[in-house]
Amino acid sequence: MISFLKEHRDFPFQLSLVLVDIVLIIISFMIAYYLRYRVPGIPGPGFLAYQKSILIVIPLWIGIFIYFGLYRIRRSWRNSEVVFNSALAVSVGMVLYLAVSYMLKEFFFSRLLLISLWGSNILLISCSRLAFRYLLLKVRRRGIGIRKVLVIGNTSSSKMISKIIDLHPELGYKIVGYLTAEGTGEPAEAGPFPKKSVLGTTKTILREAKSLKPDEVFFTISLGKREELWAMVNSFQRDGVEVRIIPDIYEFFSTRMIMDDLEGVPTIRFRPITMRTWEQIFKLGLDYLGSIILLIVFSPVLLYVFLRLRAITSDGILMKETVVGQFGHPFEIYRFRIPLEVVLTDPDQETAPTSFGRFLYRYSFSDLPQLLNVLKGEMSLVGPRPEPPSRVERYNEWHRRRLLIKPGITGLAQVNGLRGFRSSDEKTHFDIQYMESHSVLLDLTILLQTVWVLLKRHKQPLSFSLLQST
């Protein structure tokens, strides 16, 4: 039992969530029943009349919650993502429940009760997930359920692993050291945390590793030294330590990758990143319909911005900028031309926008005209942000993968705080992650997260280095 819990350390948290959800589903029925009959004082069937319905709902909804990943402990949980996924899962569960109730001839609920059941369940499930996320972080910070990780090697993979673990404590990992083997061509002093790095032979590495007592070991060294690598892997496995190998070509590995074999020879097969036909139709519908709705909703804002800019400057209000789109084809992106004023206090200081311009940049109103690019078919609502040709020319082949799909007004990188020309590698990482799992559901989630991110920008200082691109 102890070994099972060590190997499946998230199981107690997941089991607790399932039990809490069962209780919350019952409470949702009680709330719906109370609001329908007790509050207005209307006579109705006793609460026990819904016993059979509750027994149908519980396993049905728990299965749907599992399908939508509400029990997965993953990094970068966002409040908006939690609420959206919970609402979607409950809504799908409600539809299936009504279908099952109709087939079983158990459908006798009033519409008010169903609406109350739907709303209360979304509220309770969302609050429970937010509370669980907070509790999980507190538990992890107290060292409960933490797995000690040893990183062997000093490559870009080492730095990526280090950054992910530091930024996401909810994953439950703690790096206890970095070791670098001799003969790999990897200098110990250039490691993510040089003071923790140790350079040594295979025997020295194993001795140092055992003193750190890790639960898992991440190998990021070159696979060329096979004998030394196998010696270390065998030693760790004998001691019951889990081993992971992250090759230096990890950028090629993705969720579109399938491990296969050809008559006993292992192969890696990559599926196309293109959407299925029905998904493409839904995404096009979302782009065109969403753009039209947003243009109608924001038409007063667009008119106000246009008139305000007309009063400030005599230059063209709408500017065009050449950027690179899908498959490397250039096109002109639309943006409001916002005047800048020079800060005279420091000649070396960057230019700063006017207060009105600052407002437009902070909340990305300058990018609203790009809805026209979506209607022209050059962009999508969600996708990698397009960049100018001068920057695309410096792309390596890994960066160029982000050009395989249509660019977007917002994207996964933007909702994760990456804006402008900063962090090309990190932006590409998120863009590729989006490409490999993009769907209409993911687009809706990112759009909801974008609204949340924009609303939080009033608390953040404006970086003038980001003014040329959002």
Percent of the chain with pLDDT over 90: 16
- pLDDT (mean) for 358-383: 88
* CA–CA distance, 327 with 374 (Å, rounded to integer): 16
Query: Which pLDDT band holds residue 352 (cuts at 50, 70, 90)?
Result: very low
Structure tokens at 24: 């919350």
* CA–CA distance, 114 with 53 (Å, rounded to integer): 12
Query: Which pLDDT band holds residue 243 (cuts at 50, 70, 90)?
Result: confident
Q: For the whole model, what pTM was predicted? A: 0.63
How, if at all, do strands 380-382 and 408-410 pair? parallel
For residue range 158-180, list pLDDT tens digits in order.
Answer: 777 887 787 777 677 888 887 77
Domain ranges within the chain, ordered by starting residue: 2-141, 147-248, 277-466
Question: What pLDDT, on the 0 to 100 scale, is given for residue 102?
Answer: 72
The helix (H) or strand (E) run that includes residue 131 is helix 111-141
For residue range 73-96, list pLDDT tens digits in order.
Answer: 665 566 777 788 888 889 888 888
Residues 6+ apart with CB under 8 A from 214: 148, 149, 150, 176, 177, 241
The helix (H) or strand (E) run that includes residue 406 is none
Q: In terms of C-beta density within 10 A (0-12 exposed, 13-18 middle, 19 or more buried), how is residue 214 classed?
A: buried
Q: Reduced to 3 states, what is the DSSP secondary structure of residue 54?
A: helix
In this model, does residue 464 exceed pLDDT 60?
no
Structure tokens at 39: 């509050």
How much of the chain is helix, strand and coil, in % rounded to 5? 55, 15, 30
Task: Say which CATH topology domain 147-248 has.
Answer: Rossmann fold (3.40.50)
Q: In terms of C-beta density within 10 A (0-12 exposed, 13-18 middle, 19 or more buried), how is residue 245 classed?
A: middle
Closest C-alpha among 122, 114, 120, 119 to residue 97: 114
* CA–CA distance, 421 with 427 (Å, rounded to integer): 9
Q: In terms of C-beta density within 10 A (0-12 exposed, 13-18 middle, 19 or more buried), how is residue 392 classed?
A: middle
Query: Amino acid identity, residue 235?
Result: S
Structure tokens at 445: 């989630």
Structure tokens at 150: 């040893």
Percent of the chain with pLDDT over 70: 75
* CA–CA distance, 237 with 122 (Å, rounded to integer): 45
Closest C-alpha among 310, 291, 276 to residue 439: 276
For residue range 187-217, list pLDDT tens digits in order.
Answer: 444 444 443 455 556 677 777 777 888 888 8
Mean pLDDT of the chain: 77
Q: In terms of C-beta density within 10 A (0-12 exposed, 13-18 middle, 19 or more buried), how is residue 385 classed?
A: buried
Closest C-alpha among 1, 426, 37, 14 to residue 251: 426
